[in-house]
Amino acid sequence: MAERSPGDPRDPLDEEAAWAEIVAGYGEQPSFPAKDGTDEPPRTDGATGKREGKGESPAPGSFVVYAPGVGPRDWSAADASDDDFDENDEGHFTPPEPPPLPKADVTAKFAWLAVIGGPLLLVAMVILQQPVTWWVTVLGIGGFLGGFATLVARMKNDDEDGDHHRPGGGAVV
């Protein structure tokens, strides 16, 4: 435990005094909304604890405490309808159907099977508590590495696009 300076008046074992000092440092306790069903809770000035009138704005540094379930976010927006638009609005946007995915060739399918299937084979052998022999290890790791290398080698690079004359290779508008 750290030693206290001789000028510190507190007893190191006086826990009640320490808690009383902490609680006293917080100032006035906030007031909670009345249970009479009013929407707006009574506000108090953080410095003096006096209630403010309805027309006054809260003092700087003061705050409002809302009861659980009550507050500025306890509402929901109204549902949108077609009547909400006037003649200048375009209405609801419906995106067009996306184009179909390109057909994958057999090589790409086997490469993906190896990339996913190799590690799955090793995990399945461990989960099923089967012995991981040398050929299972070679098949799992080799399948992953071979499939990954195949996918990387077949990636389209920038030279295949036919735009060799782009200055600096920057953005094209």
Residue 8 belongs to some domain of the structure: no
Identify the DSSP state of 158: G
Question: pLDDT tens, 134-169?
Answer: 999 999 999 999 999 999 999 877 665 555 555 666
Domain end residue (candidates: 24, 39, 58): 58
Q: Which two tokens stand for residue 165?
A: 């004359």
Please give the residue range of the domain that contains residue 31: 16-58
Backbone angles phi, psi at 51, to 5 degrees: -75, 145
Question: pLDDT tens, 86-119?
Answer: 666 666 677 889 999 888 899 999 999 999 999 9
Residue 138 belongs to some domain of the structure: yes
Residue 169 belongs to some domain of the structure: no
Instruction: Give the count of domains, the chain.
Output: 2
Residue 53 belongs to some domain of the structure: yes
